[in-house]
Structure formats: C-alpha cells, structure tokens
Amino acid sequence: MAPLALPEPYDFARSTERYRAFGPDLANLWHEGGVHRVFDGREVRIEAATGGVDLEPLEPRALHYLGGPFDLDGFYAFAEGDPVLAGIVRELRGLRPPLNPDPYETLVTSITAQQVSLRSAFAVRNRLIERFGVRVDHAWAFPTEERMASAGEEELTEVGFSRRKAEYVVGVARAAVDWDELASLPADELKARLVALRGLGEWTADWFMARHLARPRAWPAGDLGLVKALAEYYFDGVRPSIAATRAFGDRFAPFENLSAHYLLASLYAVP
C-alpha cells in the first residue's frame, strides 16, 4: 500500500508525542511505533514511512486527523518575523498538530481536563472509554453521543468524574447538536452556541475550533499553559490577564492556532 503523503516538513514522532506524553490514550493508542485510531468501527494503524505515513487500511479521514489542513509553510514564513517564534520553529520544525476527528469527543476531552492535570484527565478519560466505548483490536472507539445520552450521571462518577462534570458530559450528549451546521458558523456565532451548553466556556469553544475544526485564527486565550508561555517568552515572567492574552493574539494573525500549539509545545516539550 502506498503511503499517505503529508505536506512537508512532517515529523511523525514529534507530531504524535501527545499520545505518549501523559500516559496511554486508549482512543489514540501508541503501540509498537504507530498510532491506532478507530474510524467508523474500523481500526487504523498509522506509522512513519518514507514519503509519508503508512496506514493499514487506508483511511481518507486520516489526513485531517494528522493535521493535514494546517499551512505549515505559510506559518514558518510568518514566524521568521517574530524572534520568539522563529527560534521555536527551528526547534520544533515538522510538528503538525493532530486533530480530533470527532466533535463530541473533543468537547468531552476538554471537560475532562477542566481544573485537573493532563495526566489525571487522561486517566479518567480512559476509564470512561473502557466503561462506555468499544474495543476493536488494540484501540478503543470513543463512546458515542447516543451511548452517553443514555448513561446515568452516577455511572460517570463511578469512573472518576465529578458530579458536575458528569452532568456536563451527559448534557452535551443529550443536546443533539447539529455538528455540521455548527462547523459552518463564523467564530463568534459558533462560540455563542457552544457556551450556551452547560459546562462549556470560552476556553472549551476556542480549543474546539483549534483542535477539531483547525480554524487558523483560533486562539485559546483562557488556557493557563498559553498564558504561562506568553509570560515566559514575551512578558518577562509576568503572567498577562486573560483579556491581555486574547488581545495579544492579534500579534500572531492569521496563524493564532499554530502559534498557540508551538508556544505550548516549546514550553512543555510535548505537542
């Protein structure tokens, strides 16, 4: 099978590091040098190959999953004009942030990560997957909205969710969101729709646009890691307010999304 070619440059190991950095991720499982992901009930293995990545079997959506929509060439040319980004790009060249292909999973992942460490969030998320998802071979299919809409909140607390987060996860599943319509909306309207759902704030909406829709101008100003990165690189160690962080995002237009990913990856040494 011919490998799927991704736009160069592309560093497979660096781009998939997030699937190893915080412990196993059952829905994006790193196994023997490759990532296993379930698409529509079918498990796909993705590994590095000369001229691209090998997929077994070939899955058209894998290009999006691997961050194909991002314009790295344009971003790298832009970064040369910013002394901080220029150095970070040289350090992390080839990092293509992967994208979550499922909208509901994206939101649940964000809810799980609210106010806890990423390692703890991954552990709770894995228990959710084991309880409500389906194991295909090595990887698990993330629980569907339909399955979670029928779940009791107490079932989620049993796997480590707080009562409030359990309400959020089940509530989003029961909201019957039209994801295709949502994806077509301009940023302001999309964010308004999402934050109208209980438990979802601006931070979650920003990351939804960044990590699911690959919107180039998505800028997660409320992310504490991003605030810390800006303090480290641009504000002499003083953490800016959320409002100041959002305003500072204009500096990186029209590449706010990639700038945020690269700043975070440089600060924490993982994508």
Averaged pLDDT for residues 128-142? 97
270 pLDDT above the threshold of 50: no
Q: Where are the domains of the chain?
A: 12-92
Predicted structure pTM score: 0.93
Backbone angles phi, psi at 228, to 5 degrees: -65, -40
The pLDDT of residue 271 is: 37
237 pLDDT above the threshold of 80: yes
Residue type, position 163, single letter: R
122/112 Cα distance (integer angstroms): 8
Q: Are 110 and 207 in contact (CB under 8 A)?
A: yes
For residue 269, give both structure tokens.
Answer: 């040494």
The pLDDT of residue 10 is: 87
Q: Using a pLDDT cut of 70, give the percent of the chain over it.
A: 93
- Sequence-distant (6+) residues with CB within 8 A of 267 are 225, 228, 229, 232
Averaged pLDDT for residues 227-235? 97
Q: pLDDT (tens digit, 9 = 90+) per residue, 44-101? A: 888 887 766 666 555 668 888 999 899 999 999 999 999 999 999 999 999 999 999 9
The pLDDT of residue 2 is: 54
The pLDDT of residue 188 is: 97
Averaged pLDDT for residues 202-224? 97
The pLDDT of residue 72 is: 96
Least confident of 43-47, 201-205, 242-246: 43-47
The pLDDT of residue 48 is: 85
C-alpha 24 chain-centroid distance: 15
Q: pLDDT (tens digit, 9 = 90+) per residue, 137-168? A: 999 999 999 999 999 999 999 999 999 999 99
How many residues can be counted in the chain? 271
**Residue for token pair 């100041």:** 244
241 pLDDT above the threshold of 70: yes
Q: How confident is the model at residue 206 (pLDDT cuts 50, 70, 90)?
A: very high
Averaged pLDDT for residues 98-124? 94
Supply the DSSP string of the chain, one letter for each residue. Answer: -PPBPPPSS--HHHHTTHHHHTB--TTEEEETTEEEEEETTEEEEEEEETTEEEEES--TTHHHHTTTT--HHHHHHHHTTSHHHHHHHHHHTT------S-HHHHHHHHHHHTTS-HHHHHHHHHHHHHHHSEE-SSSEEPPPHHHHHTS-HHHHHTTT--HHHHHHHHHHHHT---HHHHHTS-HHHHHHHHHTSTT--HHHHHHHHHHTS--TT---TT-HHHHHHHHHHTSTTPPPPHHHHHHHGGGGTT-HHHHHHHHHHHHHS--
Q: Using a pLDDT cut of 90, give the percent of the chain over it.
A: 82
